[in-house]
Chain A
Amino acid sequence: MRGLRLKLIVGVTAVFAATISMGVAQERARARSPAPAGAKLSFIDLQNNARIPGKATIRFAISGMEIAPAGTARRNTGHHHLLIDTELPPLGQPIPSDFNHLHFGGGQSEAEILLSPGRHTLQLLFADHDHVPHDPPVISEKITVEVMAAPEEKPRTVAAPNARVFFVGLQDGAVIPPRSVVRFGQENIGLVPAGTRQDNAGHHHLLVDTDLPPLDREIPSDFNHLHFGRGQTETELTLPPGEHTLQLLFADHEHVPHDPPVMSQKIRVRVQQASAASPPPAASPTARTASGRTPAPNDAAVYFIYPRDGTRIFATSTIRFGLRNMGVAPAGVVRPNTGHHHLLVDVPTPPLDAAIPADLNHIHLGNGQTERKITLPPGEHTLQLILGDDQHVPHDPPIMSERITVYIGAPAKRRARR
C-alpha cells in the first residue's frame, strides 16, 4: 500500500515536472529562468539531524551557477532563500518573504539565524532576480536540525574575586516613592559600555521582582531585567505601590554574567502610595513616558567620531557625532526614535528632565547637523553630546555620550623648545 502511494507520488511529480517544463517552453509569457542540469544547492558543514546551538551561522553552497543580488537578471545566476520549518512554496511564483522564508537578496552565502530549542527543518531554494525559483528548481535536500536547549558553553569573562556591586543609599526594607532614582556602584571591577570586551569589566543590570537568570548566558532584556549598556550608574525607576525586590547583576560585553558572577544582595523595598509624603515629581505633566519624556531605544547611543577622549586637537576643529540605533531629525520634528544633537562645551551634564539650555556652551544642532566646527581657546576643555527630542528635552533613557576631555595648543614642552 505504502509502496503504491509512493510510486503514485513519484509518478505525479514526474508528470507535474514534465508539464511545467513543457508549459514553460511553449506558452508562458514570463518564463521561469532556466537552470543548468548540473546545478546543485547544499548546506556547508551541516548534516541532516545535526545538533546546532540556538544561534548558528548557516552556510550555503551553490555549484554550477553563480550568485547575483536580487534584481540582477543574468543567465545562470540567482540568490539564496532559506526555508525554515515550511514546505516548498509554489515554484511558479516569487518566494514569499516572511520568518519562514528568508531572502538573501544581497547575494549573501551565509546567515546567522536564531532558532528556538527543538527540532527544525531547513531547506535551501535558489531563485532568480524576481525571487522566482528556476526551471528546474534548484533545491537542497530538506534537513532536520536539533537545536540544543542550552547554548554552547562560552568562556565567561573573568571577574576579580573581590569585585562587588551594590546599591548606593538604598537598604533592604527601605520605603521609596513610586518614582525614585536608584543609584548603584561597583568596586574592584571596571565599568565599560556593553560591546566593549575587557577582562574584569562590564555593565550593570537591575533585576526587578525576579530571581537570578541563568548565569551562563545572556541576561534577558525585558521589564524585569533592566540593562544599563551605556555604563549608567543610576536609573529612574517607576514601580507600583507594594513590595518589590531589586538585585544588581553585573555582566560582560555580551550581557553574560562574569565568572565568578558579580551581583548584589537581593533587597526588598516597599513602594508607598503617591499621596501624602512623596516629593512633587508629579510636576511634570503630559506623560509621554512615565517620566514625561520622549522614549528612546535602550540600545541607542551617541558618541564622538572625532575627537577621541584625551586627545590634543587644533583650536578650530570639526567635531563629528555618531548616533547608533536612532535617527536624526531637526528640532520640532516629532518622529519616534529620532532626535537632534547638542554639543556641550565646558559645562556639566544639565538636568535631564528639562529642555537643554541654549547658550554659547550648549550648542544646538537644530537643523539635524551631524558635525560642527568650533573654535576653542588654548587649554583643557570638556565636550559632551546629548540628544534632545523635538522640544530639546533629553530622551528617556537619556541618549548622551561620556564627557570627554580635549586639549588645545601644543604641549608646553614642545613650545619651550621652539
Chain B
Amino acid sequence: MTPGTKRLAAVRPGLAVLAALLLTPSTVWAQTASPRQPAPRNALVYFHYPLDGLRVPERFTVRIGLKEMGVAPAGIDRPGTGHHHLLIDTDPGPPDQPIPSDYNNIHLGNGQTEVVVTLPKGTHTLQLLLGDHTHTPHRPPVMSQKITVYVR
C-alpha cells in the first residue's frame, strides 16, 4: 500500500506541472493586454563609458549608445524607440515584466542618454536594458553586456 500511494503522489505533481506548462503560454498570450514591442534584429545598446574592466572614480558619468533604434521618454509609444535603464549590481528580471524602479534599476525616463552615478569603492557590475513606453523590455530584449567596473 505504501509504495503504491507514494508513487501516485510523485506522479500527480508531475502531471500538474505538465498541465501547467501546456496551459500557461496560451493563457498568458490571451491575458497580456499589450504585447511586447518588437525590436529590430540588429538593435544594440552599449556603453560609451565606462568600458568593461575600467577603474573609475566614485562619481562618474555613464554614457549610453544605441544602434538602430531611437530614444523616447517613458510613456511615448513609438515603434523602434525606448528609454534606457541602468542596472547596477543586479540581473535583469523576467523580460516580460516591467523593469522595477529602485536603487539598482535606474530609469532614464526623460530620454536621457547619460547619467551621473555615485558608487561606493569596490567592484560593481553595470548593464543597460532598453524598455518600451511601459518600461517592459522589447522582444527580443535590447540589452548590453554586463560589464564590471572597479570604483577606486
Taking beta carbons and an 8 Å cutoff, which residues of A are in contact with B?
67, 69-71, 105-110, 305, 320-324, 326-330, 333, 335, 337-338, 365, 367-371
- Please name the residue on chain A nearest to B109 by beta carbon: A327
Which of B59-91 touch A at CB < 8 Å? 63-67, 69-73, 76, 78, 80-81, 88-89
**Is there a chain A Cβ closer than 8 Å to B145's Cβ?**
no
Tell me the smallest distance from the CB of A95 to a CB of chain B, in Å.
Answer: 15
Tell me the smallest distance from the CB of B47 to a CB of chain A, in Å.
Answer: 11
**Is there a chain A Cβ closer than 8 Å to B120's Cβ?**
yes
Q: Chain B CB within 10 Å — which of A326, A365, A370 has the most?
A: A370
- Tally of A-B residue pairs with Cβ under 8 A? 100
Q: A322 is contacted by which of B78, B114, B118 (Cβ under 8 Å)?
A: B114
Indicate if the CB atoms of B65 and A333 lie closer than 8 Å. Answer: no
**Is there a chain A Cβ closer than 8 Å to B139's Cβ?**
no
Indicate if the CB atoms of B72 and A328 lie closer than 8 Å. Answer: yes
Main DSSP-derived SS at the A contact region: loop
**Is there a chain A Cβ closer than 8 Å to B108's Cβ?**
yes
Indicate if the CB atoms of B78 and A305 lie closer than 8 Å. Answer: no
> Which A residues lie within 8 Å of B14 (CB)?
none
> Which A residues lie within 8 Å of B70 (CB)?
328, 330, 365, 367-370
Indicate if the CB atoms of B63 and A322 lie closer than 8 Å. Answer: yes
The CA-CA distance from A330 to B65 in the complex, in Å, is 16
> Which A residues lie within 8 Å of B120 (CB)?
67, 106-109
Which of B101-119 touch A at CB < 8 Å? 102-104, 108, 110-114, 117-119
Q: A329 is contacted by which of B69, B72, B104, B119 (Cβ under 8 Å)?
A: B72
Q: B111 is contacted by which of A106, A108, A321, A368 (Cβ under 8 Å)?
A: A368
> Which B residues lie within 8 Å of A368 (CB)?
70-72, 78, 81, 111
> Which A residues lie within 8 Å of B102 (CB)?
70-71
- Please name the residue on chain B nearest to A332 by beta carbon: B78
Indicate if the CB atoms of A367 and B81 lie closer than 8 Å. Answer: yes
The CA-CA distance from A327 to B75 in the complex, in Å, is 14
Indicate if the CB atoms of A335 and B48 lie closer than 8 Å. Answer: no
Indicate if the CB atoms of A71 and B113 lie closer than 8 Å. Answer: no
> Which A residues lie within 8 Å of B104 (CB)?
69, 71
> Which A residues lie within 8 Å of B88 (CB)?
106
> Which A residues lie within 8 Å of B119 (CB)?
106-108
Q: B71 is contacted by which of A110, A329, A337 (Cβ under 8 Å)?
A: A329
User: Which 9 pairs show the lowest CB-CB distances between chains A and B?
Assistant: A368-B70, A327-B111, A327-B110, A367-B70, A328-B71, A368-B71, A328-B111, A105-B103, A327-B112
Tell me the smallest distance from the CB of A93 to a CB of chain B, in Å.
Answer: 19
Indicate if the CB atoms of B76 and A333 lie closer than 8 Å. Answer: yes
26 sampled A-B residue pairs with Cβ under 8 A: A70-B102, A105-B103, A106-B88, A106-B120, A108-B119, A305-B48, A320-B65, A322-B63, A322-B113, A322-B114, A323-B112, A327-B73, A327-B111, A329-B71, A329-B111, A333-B76, A335-B73, A337-B110, A367-B80, A368-B81, A369-B70, A369-B71, A370-B64, A370-B65, A370-B71, A371-B66
Tell me the smallest distance from the CB of A130 to a CB of chain B, in Å.
Answer: 12
Indicate if the CB atoms of B69 and A324 lie closer than 8 Å. Answer: no
